[in-house]
Amino acid sequence: VSLTSPTVIRNAVVDTVVLGHHIPKGTDIFIMSNGPDFFSPPFPIAEKDRSESSQTAKGRIGSWDPQDLQNFRPERWITVDDEGRDAYDSTAGPMLSFGLGPRGCFGKRMAYLDLRIYIVLIVWNFELQKVPVEFSSYGAEDKMTRQPQQAFVRLESVKNGI
């Protein structure tokens, strides 16, 4: 659900308007990857407050069911491709894990590779056990990156790991 990086930041280089709010030149705008739309339903936004480009871009990115946002459900990213096979759809929902555009994450490809390696090593070497319910949550401290305070799984070494 939540992201390694809690926010993507952009600085307004001109006076502008975002969702009906006047933003003076020089203001830092934080695009949050937590809170509403991630842990709770999104704020309602009147269509007239959206920019023209926002309105015409509608439908290019999917949206999540606001009722199950808090659930770990990785299959929300899976769609069926032309040949009827399950396929990963990076546009299935509104996520900016690695930011976007010319200042998007420089290390994205490397991070993908790292994550594959971590997951394989974890699956080879550990069993995933449940954590007692009082310690199970997405609770975290958001700094430059998100630092979890609790987790839903604990790792137990397996005998014949590598």
What is the contact surface with ligand HEM in residues (CB under 6 A)?
4-5, 8, 97-100, 103-107, 110-111
Q: Closest separation between CB of residue 112 and ligand HEM, Å? A: 8
Select 80 or 110, whichever has its Cβ closest to ligand HEM.
110
Contact by Cβ (8 Å): 94, 63: yes
Instruction: Please tell me the distance from the alpha carbon of residue 98 to that of residue 104, in angstroms, as a whole number.
Output: 6
Q: Closest separation between CB of residue 2 and ligand HEM, Å? A: 11
Tell me which residue of 8, 55, 2 sits closest to 29, measured CA to CA. Answer: 8
CA gyration radius, the chain: 19
Q: Closest separation between CB of residue 117 and ligand HEM, Å? A: 12
Select 80 or 120, whichever has its Cβ closest to ligand HEM.
120
Q: Closest separation between CB of residue 46 and ligand HEM, Å? A: 27
Select 3 or 69, whichever has its Cβ closest to ligand HEM.
3
Contact by Cβ (8 Å): 103, 5: no
DSSP 8-state symbol, 56: H
CA 39 and chain centroid, separation: 11
Select 35 or 41, whichever has its Cβ closest to ligand HEM.
35
113 membership: H or E segment, kind and range: helix 108-125
